[in-house]
Amino acid sequence: MCGIVGYTGPREAYPIIIKGLKRLEYRGYDSTGVALHNSDGLKIFKKKGKVAELEDAIIGKNLHATVGIGHTRWATHGEPSDRNAHPHRSAGGKLAMIHNGIIENYIQLKQELTNKGYIFTSETDTEVLLNFIEEIRKNNQCYLEEAVRVALKRVTGAYVILILDEDNPDTIIAARKGSPLVIGVAKGEHFLGSDASPMLEYTKEVVYVNDYELAIVKPDQLILKNLGNEKITPYVQKLDLELAAIEKGGYDHFMLKEIFEQPQTIYDCLRGRLDAEAGTITMSGIQQYTEQIVNANRIIMVACGTSWHAGLVAEYIFEELCRINVEVEYASEFRYRNPVINKGDVIIAISQSGETADTLVAIENAKQKGAIILGVVNVVGSSIARTSHGGAYTHAGPEIGVASTKAFTAQLAVLTMIALKIGYIKGTISEERYRHLLNELQQIPEKAAWTLKHSGKIKELAEKYKDARDFLYLGRGYNFPVALEGALKLKEISYLHAEGYPAAEMKHGPIALVEKTLPVVFVATRDAWHEKVISNMQEIKARKGKVVAVITEGDKTSEQLSDDVMIVPEADEIVAPMLSVVPLQLLAYYIGVAKGYDVDKPRNLAKSVTVE
């Protein structure tokens, strides 16, 4: 959570920082701030609210500077307010700092500083860390860099920090543990960001800073050190990301753009890997571990939110195709239990951002216990990708809308390919079924395009149901996690209460909610469970609930039973979730828009949850 940007070089820093913050708003947007070093000294401008609000509020101020840092916040310590917004200024006034993460032992540090007479102007852990650094610098009479190093050795928790020092005007000191930091390198200038989006139009050369590293960043010099003060040679990588990929491209919202990108993103994900004609799946990041997966006693999927739903679908697929026992774990629970991890267990971490704190720590713990870690990750070079032994990128491109859409379908595509490959090698699927499923998978981009083309009516459905108070989402088999995902999307975007449930389990409680005002969304595509789902629909109808169903094209029985339908093309049940989720994404989107909400930045949420 929280987005950070920095710049030092010959250009005007403020426009670079503001534009960068707008691109990072997906990470948090409850307050915004910048610190600039200019002829007026070290100036801080900050405010509760989104980036555009700060921009409007400081028109006319002296914003000329060639060095600066900026922050867009997702509150952890202290409510969103002007005074809790970053940057924070040290008590001595010389330092300004922004921070992404949580300093877990800040209460203890605050007490120490309070005993020494420090007075705090905010409720944040950030201000505590900054004054702790300042105190060390004062006491030890050392350079800022040294003070940061000493301070960070005392700190528990996660952080990326950027610090400006009035006495060293062109230098930014940065450090990271557990939250992402990218440094863009160009001639005579450097850019810093939580991801590479703020620097895209200026450079394609980037350095991903690792945990426990500290960077001293000047216009023409980048020094990387570890906390032991040893120099590290920066590893400069080439970015494979174009500006167009992070712009709206004519759509009203990123979320809608990303939903409509799915035929292409699924295609990109399959391209070069799946060859249905040759009957092959090539995944270089998995290749080395195929033997371990084939022989695994157990696969444990760890993930959060939408990625966890992808894991649930994959559980059904792996068990069916590979006959391997699969467990799907919420990363936040898994990391704090004392899970039994045996040699030969394979962990698959699923994450769009690759930075979700709980998922990252869960795999670090499992790695220490000897498990093989495979990452199914979207963001290239992210922490989860780098911590994993192997894995496969989902290649969905940047997902900027806070609600995850195209990442989910790309995760399913990758997980299905892995399951097919392993099942085939293990001999747990026949040659015929394998070939059939390769063909089915290859057709998904086209069928997703068909689904989007036939989705015109969903906007009307959104108008019809937008005032309902609660929604129930039901599905069975592969479509049960899709029902969970549909409900999650609606909650996030429309602030409506929605519950996902296995359709049969509904009788054990949620059926009490059913009345004529309750829309019950069935994921009812034609599959092995279809007749059972039809019976569940009838049970809802008998109690006067409204049935809205995702159905397979031409399924008259389901259509007659439903008040409203959303149609997807016929597909094998193993690959069908990549299609049946699409109308549910659109339904949530259009209801959110109809209710007048900012669907790309829903309240209280952030795209990348880098705090536990």
Instruction: Write out the residues near ligand F6R by the rule CB under 6 A.
Output: 304-307, 351-353, 356, 359, 403-404, 488, 492, 609
306 or 494: CB nearest ligand F6R: 306
Quote the distance between the C-alpha of residue 84 and its chain's center.
25
Is 452 within 8 Å of 259 (Cβ atoms)?
yes
SS3 label, residue 268: helix
Residue 135 or 485: which CB sits closer to ligand F6R? 485
Tell me: cis bond preceding 263? Omega within 30 of 0 counts.
no
For residue 493 the two structure tokens come to 């975007």
CA distances from 463 to 443, 592, 595, 596 (A): 32, 10, 9, 12
Between residues 17 and 24, which has the closer beta carbon with respect to ligand F6R? 24
Bridge partners (DSSP) listed for residue 427: none
- We find the least distance from the C-beta atom of residue 81 to ligand F6R, in angstroms, to be 25
Query: Which active-site residues does the annotation give?
Result: 2, 607
- CB of 329 vs ligand F6R, minimal distance in Å: 13
8 A C-beta contact, residue 130 and residue 88: yes
**Structure tokens belonging to residue 118:** 């420090």
b or e along 521-557 (b: 16 or more beta carbons within 10 Å of the residue's beta carbon)? bbbbbbbebbeebbebbebbbeeebbbbbbbbbebee
Distances in Å between the alpha carbon of 352 and those of 203, 394, 401, 426? 24, 8, 12, 29
Instruction: Residue 214: name the closest of 169, 166, 147 by CA.
Output: 147
Farthest CA pair distance, the chain = 80
Shortest Cβ 403–ligand F6R spacing (Å):
4
Closest to ligand F6R by CB, 268 or 355: 355
Tell me the closest approach of the beta carbon of residue 60 to ligand F6R, in angstroms: 38
Least separation in angstroms between CB 224 and ligand F6R: 26
Give the nearest distance from C-beta 435 to ligand F6R in angstroms. 32
Least spacing, CB of residue 351 vs ligand F6R, in Å: 3
Paired with 69 in beta bridges are 6, 35
Q: With respect to ligand F6R, which residue has the nearer C-beta, 306 or 558?
A: 306
CA dihedral sign, ordered 285, 290, 296, 298: positive
Q: Over 143-210, what HEC string results?
A: CHHHHHHHHHHHCCEEEEEEEEECCCCCCEEEEEEECCCEEEEECCEEEEECCCHHHCCCCCEEEECC
Strand order in the sheet with 3-8: 41-48, 31-38, 67-73, 3-8, 189-193, 182-186, 205-208, 236-238
* CB of 335 vs ligand F6R, minimal distance in Å: 13
Non-local (6+) Cβ contacts of 152 within 8 A are 159, 175, 177, 212, 214, 227
Going by C-beta distance under 8 Å and a sequence separation of 6 or more, which residues neighbour residue 369? 341
Compute the least distance from the CB of residue 379 to ligand F6R, in Å: 8
Alpha carbon distance 284, 482 (integer Å):
29
